[in-house]
């Protein structure tokens, strides 16, 4: 890929982000606060999903395997 094409595509995505969130009408300091909060919330959601989703999937798998006749774990 051409680097100019990639740069144009990223700038187009950023422009779409500004349009969708209507943050292009904010002042520069308001934009920086908005972007900081947005990135922080997104990072917390990704971290929470990374940490807790596998645990819940494992617990759900164990629960449904017991319901549908899975072998109980040995207590020895």
- Structure-token pair, residue 16: 């779409």
- Cβ neighbours, 10 Å, residue 66: 12
Residue 76 lies inside a defined structural domain of this protein: no
22 contacts 34 by C-beta, under 8 angstroms: no
Residue 75 lies inside a defined structural domain of this protein: no
Per-residue confidence (pLDDT) for residue 2, from 0 to 100? 79
- The total number of structural domains in the chain stands at 1
Of the segments 2-6, 22-26, 39-43, 68-72, which one has the largest average pLDDT value? 39-43
**What does pLDDT average to over the chain?**
89
Residue 72 lies inside a defined structural domain of this protein: no
Query: Is the pLDDT confidence value at 55 over 60?
Result: yes
| pLDDT tens string 26-51 | 999 999 999 999 999 999 999 999 99
Residue 74 lies inside a defined structural domain of this protein: no
CA dist 20 and 29 (Å) reads 19
31 contacts 17 by C-beta, under 8 angstroms: no
Between 32 and 71, the more confident residue is: 32
27: containing domain:
3-67
Residue 37 lies inside a defined structural domain of this protein: yes
Residue 33 lies inside a defined structural domain of this protein: yes
């Amino acid at each position: 890929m051409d680097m100019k094409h990639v740069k144009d595509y990223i700038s187009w995505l950023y422009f779409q982000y500004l349009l969708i969130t209507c943050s292009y009408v904010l002042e520069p300091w308001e934009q920086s606060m908005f972007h900081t909060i947005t990135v922080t919330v997104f990072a917390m959601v990704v971290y929470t999903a990374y940490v807790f989703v596998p645990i819940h999937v494992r617990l759900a798998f164990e629960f449904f395997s017991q319901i549908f006749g899975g072998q109980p774990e040995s207590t020895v």
